[in-house]
A and B are shown apart, each in its own frame.
Chain A
Amino acid sequence: MQQPSIRTWLWVNLKIGALSFGSVSRTVLFQDELVAKRSWLSPEDFQESLTIAQVLPGPNLVNLAVCLGFRLFPPAVALAGLVPLVTPGAILAVLVGVWVPLDNPGIRALFAGFAIGAFLLMGKFLWMLGQGMLSQGPATAARPRLKVIGRFLVAALVAFGVSAGVAVLPLIFTAVAVCLLWEFLT
């Protein structure tokens, strides 16, 4: 583990805030910067923060930045990191919304390409999350294989439900209940 520095924390947030084109990949960039490149956190620590950030409501990237920031730094530094994270996107949204013709074929192609790059990164990221679901945790289950199969089944159902347009709120609450029951009853 390396010693986290405040200046680098702010820089990483600015970099992600200003350059994280490709929508879904934004979470991966934190993993790339803090776990893969700098070893500030172990993959397990990162996964814990990601779970909290995803399960609670709010913009995923900000949620994750708060969790990671609080884990690495005192609260004031953690929160200071949010300024460079959210400001560029907010300013760009206004500028792009007012001036950029989004239906221009060149711009569309560029962003479709960003999406491809993001998708590729997500493949690797999902692989890592899949590994995280194999973990047995502190209390080793009597039937570990059954437990893991159940987790993947729930994950598949959530993915299918969201893709098929099922109302997200009831879906999430149901999934939370099923996940907890499965963990503590098996």
Chain B
Amino acid sequence: MIYWQLFWLFFRISLIAFGGVFGVLPELQQVVVDQYHWLSADQFVQSYVVGQFVPGPNMSMAALVGYRIAGVGGALSSIFGIYSGPILLLSAATTLYSRYRTFSWVKRTELALRPLVFGLIFASTALFLKQQIGDQWLSGLLLGVPLIWLHWTGNLGAMACIFLAGFVWWGILVLGLPI
């Protein structure tokens, strides 16, 4: 049954998705495009791009992939599939961590893993900027200086900073504002 297949596919994928969605794209594409021919390669890539565009978790692409394959039911089973495994896993991990966090080796393990977290977040930031802005990064940074100043001085919240950057950049590129 298609709903069960979608649930199982995304459930399986979610549990090997270390470090974000990038790592599991080839596996997902292999099943969805090559093995079952549910989507064309173009549709798959477009679903990924949409997943990056929309707000919320970056696995929202699962909803679109599921919808294209089996309508609303497909979207729901994909969403349940992608989120249920990590939710169970993280619930257990957090409960255990809270219980044993006073043990020095537990705290040291968490400290030890911080470089991995830093490296992964740094890489995804760099890749994301390259993908979205490419060779216009210098103008982007020029726009960024006043924004980041506003944010650091506490005059602009994090979300407002993102929205303002979006609309100013849109104004520069589309309306040709001489900023």
Contact = CB atoms under 8 A, between A and B. Distances in A.
Interface string A120-152: 111111100110110101110000000000011
Contact of B57 (A62, A67, A151, A176): A62
A60 B105 CA distance: 25
Interface string B28-60: 000000000000000000110111111111111
Interface residues of A, number: 106
Given A89-B55, A155-B119, A179-B115, A119 B125 contact: yes
Interface in A146-186: 151-152, 154-163, 167-169, 172, 175-176, 179-180, 182-184
A160 to B, nearest CB: 8
A57 B15 contact: yes
Contacts of B9: none
A49 to B, nearest CB: 8
A179 to B, nearest CB: 5
Contacts of B58: 23, 26, 59-61
Interface residues of B, number: 97
Nearest to B23: A168
A-B interface, 5 closest residue pairs, ranked by CB to CB distance from nearest: A89-B56, A58-B86, A158-B119, A113-B169, A117-B165
Interface of A: 15-29, 32, 37, 47-63, 66-67, 70-71, 75, 78-79, 82, 85-86, 88-94, 96-98, 102, 105-106, 109-126, 129-130, 132-133, 135, 137-139, 151-152, 154-163, 167-169, 172, 175-176, 179-180, 182-184
